[in-house]
Amino acid sequence: MIKVRLNSDGTVKILQNRGELVIQKDSVSTSTAVWFVYPFSAAKSLAPEVGKSPHPIWDGLYCKSYTIKKAGAGAIITATYEGSEFQWDSENDTEENTIEVAATMREEPIETHSKFKEWIKKREDGSSAAIFDDDGNFKAWNKDDSLGAKLLGIKSYYVPGYSATVTYISQSSPSLGSIGSIGGGGGIPSIGNGREWMKTGISYSSLADGTYKVTETYLSSGENGWNKEVYKK
């Protein structure tokens, strides 16, 4: 049995576990801390204040949440803490970030192929690899043409598709007005061949230390870039 001296108000708060520091790849750090408090009725008043109380040993981490569990005449308080390992640069929020890029193949209509106009062009003798409808629109490939025979049955093709995610810590909440804008950001690599990035999403969450974890998503265009009549630069 451990004997402890009560505070003048008849309460006790003993730190039982200081917790380990966990640093994630997105610069968010987390930890926990556990206290025994007495009496049970004072548990809420003795608990750390969410968003304000710092971790007992790890600098820069603040209370995110806590639980209270009755233990005899007292209580066990388990608190979670989080903060950022990121050293904020007022000139550039995204100087240190996490970038993830994925490449997959996606299906596109054959009409979007960069050589499509060349393939269907009528030759001087009037022949073509394509068959057109009464309005002059592409209908099918001409099986009696040498090139048309090679393309027979092809209505679509696969092209490389790229997506990217950038995660960083910001001192302030981000603007959502850049959604749909053309251009990469946050150190996303250029993919070349006429392809362009477009920002397709922004999400953020506030951390206990007052900073914000921001995630931006990007999608690449095809070789012809994004249509500037439809999308903003």
pLDDT for 1 beyond 60? no
- 169: β partners: 213
- C-alpha separations of 75 from 15, 38, 68, 141 in Å: 12, 6, 6, 78
Please state, rounded to an integer, the average pLDDT across all residues of the chain: 87
What is the Cα–Cα distance from 85 to 87, expressed in whole angstroms? 6
Per-residue pLDDT, averaged over 69-76, amounts to 94
- Identify whether the C-beta of residue 64 lies closer than 8 Å to the C-beta of residue 82: yes
Query: Quick one: tokens of 99?
Result: 């970038």
Write out pLDDT tens, residues 121-138.
988 888 999 998 888 888
pTM: 0.61
